[in-house]
Amino acid sequence: MSAAVMEKQVIPAQADGREPLLRVEHLKKYFPAGKKQVLKAVDDISFSIGKGETLGLVGESGCGKTTVGRTILRLYDPDGGAVYFEGTDIYKLPKKEWKPMTQKMQMVFQDPYASLNPFFTVGEIIEEPLKIHGLYPNKAERRERVYELLEMVGLNKDHANRFPHEFSGGQRQRVGIARALALDPTFLVCDEAISALDVSIQAQVVNMLMRFQRELDLTYLFITHDLSMVRHIADHTAVMYLGTMVEYGETGELYAHPAHPYTQGLLSAVPVADPAYCRTHTPSHLQGEVPSPINPKPGCRFCDRCPRATERCRSETPQLREVGAGHWAACLNL
């Protein structure tokens, strides 16, 4: 294994050498799946995100993206690996130090309707994290903070007394974002945060998230199965397949020169506006579906669906290696 391969397997290099806001090393999350069966939802994933940046985490449904997000936020206990937030290994933090850390790391969920308690007013929903964390103990000041958050997301204080069902999908997602911002976080996991919305509304919500990123210096892990939007917002993109990372790179580079057959397959389903790309690339549409990650076989996990698979791919597990500057892919045929 070359030095470059080793480095990537451990810590993806930060271009400027600074400690990234988030550093994930060899993260594993397994779920029990019956007798002697293990579902390897996340199986040795490493990446980092620089402060103020967005990492797009993409892949088909069932590849383990949500599990990565939830395990980073400790909504799941990891089965291996480490997550460093601002240099601190969060899995090693004692319980009492965990609460202030959760303040800084928040999540925006896919389905704002399912994630907002229907029996609470929008004001109460946004207020709840402030109460849990004991911020703004003065009731009047807490109310003011709720109004401020509503206005930040393009709603107003009259909305505070209404219930989630009185809102449109886009407005509910704004409430979800206001709740996530209530504690003044530095890092947001946006898990399919716009996937359930109409395309026109998606753009509004994305623009709002991008504005918050600039104004509040936020760092995003933007999880989505939809590759078209992430292209415009992510600095780097990581492609996941069956619990593993198959490609990682600067977004423009990765979309222009996808190296892994899986990434190429995913991108062939995305409309491209670049005729030069269409002339030089034959579409390689993905065949079949994501198999189950229960007791995965050795070898490349993509080999059964890969148009380029050889015998070697069935026995040898590919490691990420650098295929261009800061561009990594895990394929034996590169």
Binds 63, which of Mg ion, ligand ADP, none (CB < 5 to 8 A, cut-off by type)?
A: ligand ADP
Residue at token pair 């090393």: 25
Q: Where are the alpha helices (DSSP H) in the chain?
A: 3-10, 65-72, 95-104, 112-115, 122-132, 139-152, 169-181, 199-216, 227-233, 251-256, 261-268, 275-280, 311-315
Q: Tokens for 103?
A: 């303040």
Q: Which is nearer to ligand ADP, 65 or 231 (CB)?
A: 65
Is residue 28 involved in binding ligand ADP (CB under 6 A)? no
Place of tokens 């993206």: 65
294: which DSSP letter? Answer: B
Q: Which of 70, 67, 82 is nearest to 31 (CA)?
A: 67
Assigned token pair, 3: 């030095």
79 belongs to the binding site for ligand ADP (CB under 6 A): no
Query: Is residue 249 part of the contact set for ligand ADP (CB under 6 A)?
Result: no
Phi and psi, residue 148, nearest 5°: -60, -45
Single-letter residue type at 107: M
CB of 77 to ligand ADP, least distance (A): 12
Binding flag, residue 41, ligand ADP (CB under 6 A): yes
- 67 contributes a contact to ligand ADP by CB under 6 A: yes
Binding of ligand ADP at residue 246 (CB under 6 A)? no
Among 21, 27, 39, 266, indicate the residue that binds ligand ADP (CB under 6 A): 39
Give the integer Cα–Cα distance in Å for 92 and 111: 31
What is the bridge-based pairing of β-strands 244-250 and 88-89? unpaired
* Stretch touching ligand ADP by CB under 6 A, among 58-66, 91-99, 172-180, 270-278: 58-66
**CB under 6 A: which stretch of 65-73, 269-277, 279-287, 310-318 binds ligand ADP?**
65-73
* Site for ligand ADP contains 63 (CB under 6 A): yes
Task: Name the residue among 88, 92, 117 with its Cα closest to residue 104.
Answer: 88
Q: Is 65 in the site for ligand ADP (CB under 6 A)?
A: yes
260 near 332, Cβ under 8 Å? no
Amino acid occupying residue 120: F
Smallest separation (angstroms) from Mg ion to the CB of 105: 18
Residue 28 in contact with residue 76, Cβ under 8 Å? no
* Rg, Å, the chain Cα set: 21
Q: In 133-198, which ranges are continuous DSSP H helix?
A: 139-152, 169-181
Dihedrals phi, psi of 318, to nearest 5 degrees: -70, 140
Residue number, nearest CB to Mg ion: 66
Tokens read off for 18: 């600074």
Residue 266 near ligand ADP by CB under 6 A? no
Contacts to ligand ADP from residues 274-313, by CB under 6 A: 293
Binding mask 19-58 for Mg ion (x = CB under 5 A): ----------------------------------------
By CB under 5 A, tell whether 66 contacts Mg ion.
Answer: yes
Nearer to ligand ADP, 70 or 157 (CB): 70
Kindly state the smallest distance separating residue 55's Cβ from ligand ADP, in Å: 15
Contact between 244 and Mg ion (CB under 5 A)? no
Q: Residue 110 or 171: which CB sits closer to ligand ADP?
A: 110
Query: Which stretch, 64-72, 176-184, 254-262, 268-276, contacts ligand ADP (CB under 6 A)?
Result: 64-72
- Judge residue 94's burial from the number of C-beta atoms within 10 Å of its C-beta, 0-12 exposed, 13-18 middle, 19 or more buried: exposed
The least distance separating Mg ion from the CB of residue 95, rounded to whole angstroms, comes to: 28
Binding site for ligand ADP (CB under 6 A): 31, 39, 41, 59, 61-67, 293
Binding site for Mg ion (CB under 5 A): 66
